[in-house]
Amino acid sequence: MALDRREFIRNSTIAGLGLAFLPKIGFANSVKQTLNIGFIGMGLRGEEHLKNALFRSDIQVIAICDIDPNRLKVGREMIEEKGKSPALEFGKDDYDYRNLLKLKEIDAVIIATPWLWHTPMSVDAMKAGKYTGVEVSAAMTMEECWDLVNTHEATGSHLMILENVNYRRDVMAVLNMVRQNVFGELLHMRCGYQHDLREVKFNDGIHAYGHGVEFGEKGFSEARWRTQHSLKRNADIYPTHGLGPVATYVNVNRGNRFISLTSHATKSRGLHKHIVDVGGEDHPNAGLKWKLGDIVTTTIDTANGETIIVTHDTNSPRPYSLGFRVQGTNGIWEVDGNRIYIEGEANKPHRWDDATAWLEKYDHPLWKRFASEAEGAGHGGMDFFVMNAFVESAKRQIAPPLDAYDAAAWSSITPLSEASIAGGGQVQYFPDFTRGKWIKRKPYNWMKDIY
C-alpha cells in the first residue's frame, strides 16, 4: 500500500499541476471493495466489456446506456442471467448518458460508443467526477486530444484509454523483455492495424459481417458509423492497437515523447472495388469517392531517438496482423513469423530463432497469475486484463497505466497524419500534451502482478 500511495502522489495531477482545489480522490489505503460502474454504449464492444465486468465480484453494474433499445435489452438480459441486481437504463436520446453521469453512486464509467462520441462523453464523465474508461481511439481531432488532457487536469478525474492490445500475452512478454534489457537500447519499432475490414465497413443492415455493401443509416453495427470516416478522411484513423504497446515500450510521456511524424497514403481502391465486386457497378455506393488511402504509412521520431513505423491497412484482402517489430542494440523480435534474434543467445549467428521459448520464459507476471481468469474474456484474454487494470486503478483512485496523456498522444496520430498526407508528406509536430513534464515523469511500473 505504501507503494501505491507513492504512485498516487507521483502520478496524480494534483501534485504535478498545483491545482487550487482537491478533487474527491481517495488515498490508496482506502481501496474500494466494490466499484460501481455505468456502461455507456451497449454495442458489440460494450457487450464484451459488460460480460467481463459481470465475471468480477468487485464490480456492481449500476446503469447501462444505449440509444438502441435492442442493445439495452441485450445488456439487461446479460445482467439478469448472471443473477445480478438490475441496472438503471438510459438512452432515450443522444444526451441521456448525461443523466447516467449524474448518478452519485456511480464511481466509474466505461465508454464504448462510436468514435465521434468518445471525447465528448469522456469530457462529460470527467467533469462529473467519474473515473473514465474510453475505448479506442480516444479522439478524432487535435482539439479533442487537448480536451481530454485539459479536462483531466482541470477536474482531477482520471481517464484510461482502454487499449486491450497493451495486454496481449506476447505484447506483455516483450514488454517484460524490454524492461529486462534483452533487446539492449531500443532503436526502432514497427506496428499497425492491418486488418481487412471490408466486411465490417459494409453489411446489409442486419448481419454485422459478411453481407451487403451498405453503410451509414442503412448499415448495422460498425458499418453504421465507422465507414463514414473512410469516406471522408485520409489519415491513420485507427492508430492505437499498434502504437499503444510500442509507446509503452519506449516510455512515451514518461521520459520520452513523440516529436514529429510524416505520413504517406496510397491511392484508394479497395472499398470501391469491394462495392463493385459484391454489389455490382450499378449499386448507388459504387459512385462514391473514398478519401482513405488503402495503406497509410506513418513514421514517428521520438525525443530519445527511436523511430516507429505505424501502418493502417484495412481496405485490402490480407490476413490480420499488427505487424509488431521491436529492435534494439542487442537484437530484434518480429511478431510476423514469431521470430527473434538476440546476439550471443541465438542458436546460430545470423539466423532467426522461434520466439515461443522466449515469450514463455518472459511471460508477464500478470499473465502468469491471471491466465485462467482471462480465459473466458474476449480477444484471447487481453480484454480481462484491460478491464482489470481499469477496475483496480479506479478502486484505488490512482492514475491508470494508460492515462489521458497517452490517450491524447496516441490519438493525435489521426489529425497529424491527415495533415501530413494533405501536405504531400510534410512533417507534423506533436504537441507536448504533458506541458513539458515528460522530462521528469517516471516510467510506469508495469512489472507487477496486481493489475
| Residues of the shown chain interacting with a second copy in the complex, contacts defined by CB under 8 A | 184-185, 187-188, 196, 260-262, 264-267, 269-270, 273, 293-295, 297, 299-301, 304-307, 309, 313, 316-320, 327-332, 334, 336-337, 341-343, 350-352, 423-427
Count of C-beta atoms within a 10 Å radius of residue 85 = 9
Nearer to a second copy, 284 or 305 (CB): 305
Closer CB to a second copy, 56 or 272, in the complex: 272
Give the Å distances, CA to CA, from 311 to 14, 111, 210, 289: 36, 26, 24, 22
Based on CB atoms, which residue is closest to a second copy, 23 or 425?
425
DSSP, res 189:
E
Tell the smallest beta-carbon distance from residue 64 to a second copy (Å).
32
Provide the minimum distance between the beta carbon of 181 and a second copy in the complex, in angstroms, as a whole number.
13
Q: Of 344, 306, 302, 304, give the one whose Cα is nearest residue 325.
A: 306
β-bridge pairing 258-265 and 428-429: antiparallel
Least distance from a second copy to the Cβ atom of residue 177, Å:
15
Q: How far apart are CA 25 and CA 156, in angstroms?
A: 8
Q: Which three cell numbers stand for residue 379?
A: 480477444
Tell me how far, at minimum, the Cβ of 190 lies from a second copy, in Å: 9
Q: For residue 195, count other CB atoms closer than 10 A to its CB.
A: 17
Category of 4 on φ-ψ map: left (φ > 0), alpha (ψ -120 to 50) or beta: alpha
* 3-class SS of residue 413: helix
Q: Of 231 and 332, which has the nearer Cβ to a second copy? A: 332
CB of 331 to a second copy, least distance (A): 6
Query: CB of 42: closest distance to a second copy in angstroms?
Result: 27
Residue 318 C-beta: closest distance to a second copy, Å: 5
Contacts of 163 (CB under 8 A, 6+ apart): 136, 240, 241, 244, 245, 386, 402, 410
CB closer to a second copy, 184 vs 279:
184
C-alpha to C-alpha distance for 319 and 196, rounded to whole angstroms: 7
Q: Which residue, 114 or 431, is less far from a second copy as judged by CB?
A: 431
- Order of strands, sheet of 428-429, starting from the edge strand that comes earlier in the sequence: 353-354, 339-342, 331-334, 325-328, 186-194, 307-313, 295-302, 258-265, 428-429
* Closer residue to a second copy in complex, CB, 18/344: 344
Q: Which helix (H) or strand (E) holds 187?
A: strand 186-194
Report the nearest approach of a second copy to the CB of residue 448 (Å).
Answer: 30
Report the residue number, 32 or 188, with the smaller CB distance to a second copy. 188
Beta carbons of 210 and 199 less than 8 angstroms apart: yes
